[in-house]
Structure 1
Amino acid sequence: MFVAGFVTGTLAGWPLADRLAFAGLTAALSVQEFGGSLSAPGWVEIAAWWQHARAYDDQPARALRRYAFLDRLLPAAARPWPLRRAVPTIGFRQA
């Protein structure tokens, strides 16, 4: 996921710091769920995370500034978090 986030930012022409932050964010969000590629976050999940992160008054201002570039990329309204994921079915055996 890190590479996918980094390449997304590179193709969009973002500054290096924003590409690295976005890549780290997408990688971090992807490991919160089980399922390999099924756990890859989409724009809706990233927007929900950003909305959730800004909702807390005790967030360090530096951290909020680091991800402020998301404001110009993400849809204004995000669905509530957590979101539903697809369930992987290959490789599971019933007991």
Structure 2
Amino acid sequence: MFVAGFVTGTLAGWPLADRLAFAGLTAALSVQEFGGSLSAPGWAEIGAWWRRVGCAQGQDPAALRRYEFLTDLTPPGPARPWPLRRAVPTIGFRRSA
């Protein structure tokens, strides 16, 4: 996911610091779920994370500034519940040991 986030930022023409922050964020969000590509965050999940972090008490202002670029990129308004409930991968889970 890190590379996918980095390539997304590169294709969008973002500054290097924003690309690295976005790549790290997408990778961090993806490892919270099981399932490889099933765990890849979409814009809705990224937006939900950003809104949730922005409202949390005691956040480091410098850390919030680092991700301010997400404000214009993520969908506005109410988001789907986060974390998003994902499909359960089934390949290889029914084998006998």
TM-score normalised to structure 1 length: 0.95
Q: Structure 1 residue 30: deviation in Å? A: 0.3
Map residues 9-20 of structure 1 onto 2, 5 A cutoff: 9-20=9-20
CA RMSD of aligned residues (A): 1.2
Map residues 1-40 of structure 1 onto 2, 5 A cutoff: 1-40=1-40
- Corresponding position of 2:80: 79
Q: Structure 1 residue 79: deviation in Å? A: 2.0
**Structure 1: which 5+ runs fail to align?**
none
In 2, Cα distance between equivalents of 1:58 and 1:71: 19
The count of aligned residue pairs is: 95
Counterpart residue type for residue 84 of structure 1: R
Counterpart residue type for residue 92 of structure 1: F
Q: Hey, which bits of structure 1, 4+ residues long, moved more than 2 A?
A: none
Aligned sequence identity (%)? 78
Q: Structure 1 residue 57: deviation in Å? A: 2.3
In 2, Cα distance between equivalents of 1:30 and 1:82: 10
